[in-house]
Structures are given as structure tokens and as C-alpha cells.
Structure 1
Amino acid sequence: MYKRILYQCLGAACITLMVAACKTPALVEKSVNRDVPARYNDAQDTTNTANIVWKDYFTDPYLNALIDTALSNNQELNITLQEIEITRNEVRVRKGEYLPFVDLRAGAGVEKPGRYTVMGATEATTDIEPGKEMPDPIQDYVLGAFAHWEVDIWHKLRNARQAAAERYLATVEGKNFMVTNLVSEIANAYYELLALDNQLDIVRQNIEIQSNALEIVRLQKEATRVTELAVRRFEAQVYKTRSLQFDIQQEITETENWINFLVGRFPQPVDRSSQNFSELVPKRIQAGIPSQLLENRPDIQQAELELAAARLDVKVAKANFYPSLDISAGVGLQAFNPSFLVKTPESMLYSLAGDLAAPLINRNAIKATYYSANARQIQAVYDYERTVLNAYMEVANQLAKINNLENSYDLKAQQVQALNESIEISNDLFRSARADYMEVLMTQRDALESKFELIETKRQQMNAMVNIYQALGGGWNE
């Protein structure tokens, strides 16, 4: 009997499949271009700075302490960790969808059919032996297990689960990319703070130099060798330089607070060592080869995983065109009197049913979902290619910047040395009346600007060292 029922179900399934079988709509596909240049320059060395962990790449203990604290306390990073947990649970949900659902059910109820209803009239007109009438009202008690299972014929549910897994891994890579950015952002802000400290020291030194020059000018005025105009011009220069130190102090405060925000704490002084900033030497960078970016850069890994998930979404959407098979079954006990529940097999109930359904007419919604999934897949392809191109450009730009800043720093250092010497020369010439006071003022101003530019160039050098480390994909792997 059961075989006959099974064969009948299979026969009906075959008929339904043949009726529903049709071609899915054609799609415009796009392949991924994973080609990258063979090298950044003439070098072929595969040694890559990105493989160095950040604790070894940065040698300043104060900076390392800030980074270590930020990796534990940064709010945005912790939010991302919760996003990872959410996507992990989504994988569990998808995994459970292609397994059978089994529910335990216990219930009790009562029903009193009306006399002039089908049920009531049937009971009244049926010849029933005395003592065996149906109770009125009718009670109903049931206890059993019921199962439902969607047979994953076309791997729709498995592909959905795999897509969720790919997106989970993508969020992990997204977290790694955030760690890389966080490390570089703290390092850049730290070196900016050191640069501001040194600029503030330079301003204070120049205030002393200019104040001494002002005293000389006042003595020269008393000796009627210069006019009141010279005194006022020197005073204005001193006031300007004094006001500059407050601007720098404000920048220091804001930079400290930005670092504190990244670290996840309220404003407080940031421990640092600024004395030897001008003597810092950027690390020697080994960029390796461009193809290593595909493995080292978390954002590229994230884009690739998102692309894999988008491809699986297309398969899931395509499976909606095909028939779906649902199987339901149940086994348990049911009776209109609780005492009859234990009387088997009379009170036993069981069921087995199969449901095969396929879309036949008006499939516009399914087509729209299919086309949208394919469009998102093409978007993911472009996003992947854009991410790879952007990564290569970042590395190429930073490598060129490191080289140009090195040459620029050497020249600016010579400029500062020459202007420092010119300050003494201009002061001596002014005392002997062989130089105009404007020459002294201009020399001091140029010296101050050149020192600022030298410190700024050193900051850019250190930032370039940080940025190339980030561009190569370093900083996330501990």
C-alpha cells in the first residue's frame, strides 16, 4: 500500500516537473579580471613589509601602548565585532533551513457543532447504537510529533547557507581592514602630535630670538640709529610669534583628544616622547610584488568573499524557477476522551504527505529577483576590480612619496642650516649698521618658516612610513 502511494507521488512529481520545466531567463555575465602588474618598479624581491606585525614595525613604546589599548576599547571596532556575531548567527539560521523541522505538539479542545450544520445534521441522521453516541460537545486531545522538511533538490537552501558563510567571512575581513586603518590612524595622529610638540618648541625658541632682537632695536633707537618704525615692526613680529604658539597648543589639544577618542577614553594627556622627533628615521620599506596584495589586503579579501556570496545568490534566485518538494509527517495519539489516549492502536494517528509546487504563470517577481541578484553580482565584480586597482595605486603613490620626501628633507635641512647661520649674520650686520632692520625681520621669518617646513616634512615622512604599511596590508595580523 505504501509503495503504491509512493509511486503515485513520484508519478505526480514527474508530471509537475515536466510541466514546470522551462528555460531560465538569459543573463548578461561579467568575468573577473584578476590580473595585476608584475612589479611596482624594477625590483622582483618578494620580501614584504606587510608580513611584519605592528608591534615590531612600530618601535615607540608609547605608540604601541596606544594601539594595544585601542584594539580593546575602540567603540567602532567593538561594533564591528558584534556585526560579525550577527552574521555568524545568520549562518546558523541558514544551516537549519535545509534540515527537517520537528515539533512536539500537545493540545486539547472542545467543539459543539450546530444542529443545522453539516456535522450536526450528519450526526443526527446517522444510525448509532445506544450507548455509543458521539459525545456532545466533542472534546479533542492530541499528543504527537510533527515534522516538516523542504527537500533541497536544487541546492537552493545549501547555496543560501554558503552565501551567508561567505558574508560572515567577509565581515571578518572587514574587521581586519578596520584594524589596519585603526593602527595607521593612531600612528599618524601620534606622529602629528610629536611634530606639533617640536613646532611649539621652535616657536618658543624664536620668541626668545625675536625678543633679543627687539631689545637690540630699542637700544639702536635710543642711539638714534633707527626710528620708532623699526621698533614697532619688531614688536609686531614678536606678538605674531607669541600668538602662533596658542594656535599650536590648540592643535595639540585637538590631536590629543582625537587619539583619546580612537583609544576609547575621555580626554587626558597622551604620553609621548617628542625630544628626538627630528632624528627619527623611517623604516626601509620592502613592497614585494603586486600579486601579494590579493592575499595581504583585507579589503581585497572582503571584496572577493562578497563576490562569491553574490554568485551564490544568483544560484539561489535561479532555483526559484524550479519545483520545490515539501514533505510533512506526523505521529501521535488523538482521542475525544483523555482515558482513550493510552488505548492503542485505536488512538494512534499518523500522516505522511508530499507537496510538489512549481511556478507556472506570472513569474515576474521571480524574474525580477533573478535579475537583481545578477546585477548585484556584476556590482561585486566591479567592486572587486576597483578595490584591487585602488590598493595598487595606494602602494605606488606611497612608494613615490617616500622617495620624494627623502630628497626634499635633505634639501630643507640644508635650507634650515643656512637660514640659522643667516640670523647671526644679519644681527651682526644690523649692529654695525650694515644691514637694514627689514633684512633682520625677513631672515628671522624665513628661518621660522623653514624650520616649520622641515618638521612638517619629517611628519610626512613618518606618515608615509605608516601609510605604505597600511597600503601593503600590514597591521591586522598579530
Structure 2
Amino acid sequence: MYKFKKERCLIALSAALAVAGCKLPSVATNTPNTAVPEIYSNSKDSTNTATIPWRSFFKDQNLINLIDTAIKNNQELKITMQEIEIAKNEIRIKKGELLPSVGLRAGTGVEKVGRYTSQGAGDAGTEIAPGKAVPDPLMDYNLSAYAHWEVDIWKKLRNSKKAALSRYLSSVEGKNFALTNLIAEVADSYYELLALDNQLEIVKQNIELQKNALAIVKVQKEAARATELAVQKFQAEVLTSKSLEFELLQKTKETENRINFLLGQYPQEIKRDRGNFLDLLPAMVQVGVPSQLLANRPDIKQAELELSAAKLDVNVARAAFYPSLDISAAIGLQAFKPSYFLKFPESVLYALAGDIAGPLINRNAIKAEFSTANARQLQAMYNYERSILNAYLEVSNQLSKIGNLDKSYELKSQQVDALNKSIVVSNDLFKSARVNYFEVLMTQRDALESKLELIETKKEQLNAVVHFYRDLGGGWK
């Protein structure tokens, strides 16, 4: 019997060594390209706006209060926080797999074998004590502690734990990325709300101006200096402006509710300063150097950590080709009668075993798992490269947009000033019948459109700076 067990162990060991000696699939060793241009345009200043905390970046206290509420109540951010908890628990699971599993087992049973069997014939008449034969049927009572441990020879379990740790850190960066996007979204909606307030005020002023013009043309009609056509045209213009007023009121309501949604609250009025929106000045920004994106952008760091986890997954999948060593042990008490439980050493049971096992034939499933892990590693690498490229292009776009919007705003301001003057001139000329009603209507319409466009440009200026701050990686620190 001993010789048979020895031969079986040798066969298992030889098979395991044969598996270890087989040629294994190769691991993709591509290195991600993290090179970025040295500078943006002609800027060589390393000072970076992304390092400024968001409370210092925004100056409007109402906006700061809204962002504070959003950070506390936003459901999307809360969902992301739970993903961090899930990733943290995954680390605990992988850490537990490194340690031996220990348990306690208690049980009872009964066994009745046939008399005309080797065991039944052997037990018949066998005395366990003077005058006491083996009971028939035979009861079995046992109480034991057992342990099992997979020895981590090839670092499969340790690499699995490291991969879980990388994914936990990645989920933290994912939360940071969600946070900086949330801050930017609240700021975007807030500035849009201010813009709508001011556009609504301009439309109301324009309605009063159009009503005055309508009154003048009615008087002129009575004096036979204007026609009914002019009256109806002015009346239609007033109605068009009133319709626009209600459109702006609806947009204001929708924007307020979008902010309420981000803040995790039911509809309520958003506190804000309805002063002159055009007096707001965008914050001064400094772009720094492109290489700072790798440290400041949470999505880039998240992609980098996902790549680290994917590489470790490849090592885990590769280790599946190697033999594994399992050790199991047990110790306890066993007897066929409860009164014999405490008879030492007769009732003591113990066991200790070690197994080496490895795949030998039909390893297609393991190869497929390895190939999948390899492909996911390449996916993670390409995603990392894409994140870097995308970040650089986003900053480049916003940098260009800020400059172009500044020039556009200056020109639109001059356009509004010119059209405001033309309204006064056209009204004076109309009163003296030196221009017709059509020129007055067109002048008022052009002035209204230019004022609304000026406010829209101001909003885009403010939002471009917010997006620039976000794209540099600011807001989450």
C-alpha cells in the first residue's frame, strides 16, 4: 500500500514537471506611447490653473454653495462612491485567498454494511474490548477542525490581489473624474441660467420699445402719414417678442431643474445674482505644460491604473499553466459511541496531505483565458494612449476657443453699440417721416438679435474657462 502511494505521488510530480516544461504562449510586451508635445502653442510657462482648488477658482458665492450641495447630494457621485467600496471589498477577497482557510466540522452518521463483504466479514465477531464486539450497525460521531491552503508558488494569488488594488485606485480616480465633471456641469448650468435671466430682461425692454413704436405708428396712421400695413407689422413684431419671452421662461425653468437634478433636490428656485451678466469677467487661466496632464487628469491616471491591472491579469492567467500545490490538514475526535469521544489517543483523528496538480491535456480553455487577458491588456494600453491624446486635444481646443471668443465678444460689443445708436436715429427719422416703418422694424430686430448674441457669447466665454479648468484636470483636488 505504501509503495502504491509513493508511485502515485511520483507520477503526479512527473506530470506536473512536464506541464511546467511545456512551451507557454507569449505575453504582449507593447509599451504605451505617453509622449506629448513639450508646449501648447507658444506658452512655455509651467504655472498650471489645474492646481487651484475649485473654491478659489470660482468667485461667485452662490455658485460655490451650489457646488457644495451637489458634491453632498448628487446621486451619480454617490453611485461612484459605492463602486469604490465594491473595489475595496474585492481587495479583501483576494487577500483572503492568500491565507489558509480554516473551518470546524461536526457530524454524525450510521453505516450498515453487508455481512458477506470483506468489511462485514472482518467486523463480525471482532472484539473492541473483552466481551464487546463491533456494533452493527456502526454509528459515527466526529468533531474536527480542518484547513486548506493553496501555496502561491507562481504569485498567481499575489498578482490577483495587486490587480484588485490597482482597480480600487482606478475607481478612486474615476470618482475624481466624475467630481470634476460634476463641478463643471453645475457651473455651466449656472452661467446659462444667468444668461437666460439677462436675455429675458432684454426681451422685456425690447417689447416696451416696440410698443412705443407701435403707438407712434398708430398716431401716424390717424394723421394719414402711415398705413394699416405698418400698424399690423409693428403689432406682429410685439407679439413675436412676447412669444420669445415665454420661450425664455421655459428654458429658465428647465435650466433651474437641471441644476436641481445635479444637486439631488426637487424643483426649487436657484439663488443667483440677476445683475448685469455682461459685467462678469472670465477667470484668468494658465495652461502650464502638456506633461502635467499625466499627473492632473483623473481619467488619464484611471486608464494607467487599469493598464497596470490588466498586465497583472495576464500574469495570473499565465500562472494557470503551471502546477499548483495544495496542502490540506485536519485534526479532531472520532468515535462510534459518544462516550468514547474523550478517550485519548484512541479517538483522535488527524490528516495531512499535499497535492501537486497541473494541466496536461486539453489546455484550450486555459489558453483562451490567457489570450483574452492578453487582448484586454492591449485594449487597456490603447485606451491609455487615447486618454492622453484626447486630453491634449481638449486643452488645445479650449485654449483656442478662449482666444477666439475674446475677439468675437469685442466685435459683438461694438456691433451692439452701433445698433443701439441706430435705434435712436431710426426712431427720430421715422417720426419725421424720413424713413419708412420697415427700416425701423429691421433696426429693432437686428439690435435685439445682437444683444441676445452678445449675452450668448459672454456665456460661452465663461463656460470655455470652466471647461479649460476641467480639461487641465482641475476641480477634484
Q: Could you say which TM-score interval applies, normalised by the shorter chain?
A: over 0.9
Amino acid in the other structure paired with 2:18: V
CA contact 2:49–2:472 (8 Å) conserved in 1: yes
Matched, 1:185 2:198: no
- Cα distance in structure 2, aligned partners of 1:66 and 1:128: 84
Mind listing any 5+ residue stretches in structure 1 that lack a counterpart?
none
SS at match of 2:328: strand
How far did 1:116 drift? 4.5
Structure 1, residues 91-119: CA drift from partner, whole Å, max 9, x if none?
10001101111112222222222434553
Matched, 1:15 2:14: yes
SS at match of 2:139: strand
- Cα distance in structure 1, aligned partners of 2:66 and 2:129: 90
Counterpart of 1:200? 200
How far did 1:141 drift? 1.6
- Cα distance in structure 1, aligned partners of 2:272 and 2:129: 100
Amino acid in the other structure paired with 2:315: K
- Cα distance in structure 1, aligned partners of 2:34 and 2:181: 24
Amino acid in the other structure paired with 1:138: L
CA contact 1:16–1:356 (8 Å) conserved in 2: no
Tell me the matched-pair count: 475
Amino acid in the other structure paired with 1:279: D
- Cα distance in structure 2, aligned partners of 1:6 and 1:455: 88
CA contact 1:9–1:354 (8 Å) conserved in 2: no
TM-score by length of 2: 0.96
Amino acid in the other structure paired with 1:179: L
- Cα distance in structure 2, aligned partners of 1:370 and 1:148: 27
Structure 1, residues 48-92: CA drift from partner, whole Å, max 9, x if none?
111111111111111111110111111111011111101110110
- Cα distance in structure 2, aligned partners of 1:157 and 1:475: 37
Amino acid in the other structure paired with 2:38: A
CA contact 1:29–1:378 (8 Å) conserved in 2: no
Amino acid in the other structure paired with 1:144: S
Closer/same/farther in 2, CA of residues 331 and 298 from structure 1, 3 Å limit: same
Closer/same/farther in 2, CA of residues 309 and 66 from structure 1, 3 Å limit: same
Counterpart of 2:444? 444
SS at match of 1:327: strand
- Cα distance in structure 2, aligned partners of 1:416 and 1:115: 112
Matched, 1:292 2:292: yes
RMSD over equivalenced CA pairs, Å: 2.0
Question: Quick check: 276-285 or 305-314, which moved more?
Answer: 276-285
- Cα distance in structure 2, aligned partners of 1:257 and 1:431: 46
- Cα distance in structure 1, aligned partners of 2:160 and 2:187: 41
SS at match of 2:356: strand
- Cα distance in structure 1, aligned partners of 2:268 and 2:288: 40
- Cα distance in structure 2, aligned partners of 1:32 and 1:255: 42
- Cα distance in structure 2, aligned partners of 1:394 and 1:129: 89
Mind listing any 5+ residue stretches in structure 2 that lack a counterpart?
none
SS at match of 1:402: helix
How far did 1:14 drift? 5.1
Amino acid in the other structure paired with 1:417: D
How far did 1:306 drift? 0.3
- Cα distance in structure 1, aligned partners of 2:393 and 2:50: 16
CA contact 1:169–1:305 (8 Å) conserved in 2: yes
Matched-pair identity in %: 62
TM-score by length of 1: 0.96
Closer/same/farther in 2, CA of residues 332 and 97 from structure 1, 3 Å limit: same
- Cα distance in structure 1, aligned partners of 2:55 and 2:73: 18
Counterpart of 2:115? 115
Amino acid in the other structure paired with 2:408: S
Structure 1, residues 232-272: CA drift from partner, whole Å, max 9, x if none?
00000000001100000000000000000000000111111
Closer/same/farther in 2, CA of residues 355 and 14 from structure 1, 3 Å limit: closer
Amino acid in the other structure paired with 1:36: V
Amino acid in the other structure paired with 2:185: E
- Cα distance in structure 2, aligned partners of 1:296 and 1:320: 37
Counterpart of 1:26? 26
- Cα distance in structure 2, aligned partners of 1:100 and 1:33: 41
CA contact 2:198–2:276 (8 Å) conserved in 1: no
Closer/same/farther in 2, CA of residues 221 and 286 from structure 1, 3 Å limit: same
Matched, 1:407 2:407: yes
Structure 1, residues 21-61: CA drift from partner, whole Å, max 9, x if none?
21111344422101011011222211111111111111111
List aligned pairs for 1:46-61, cutoff 5 A.
46-61=46-61
Amino acid in the other structure paired with 1:274: R
Question: Quick check: 108-117 or 79-88, which moved more?
Answer: 108-117
Matched, 1:214 2:214: yes
Counterpart of 1:428? 428
Counterpart of 1:139? 139
SS at match of 1:359: coil
- Cα distance in structure 2, aligned partners of 1:118 and 1:9: 25
Counterpart of 2:251? 251
Counterpart of 1:64? 64
Question: Quick check: 169-178 or 110-119, which moved more?
Answer: 110-119
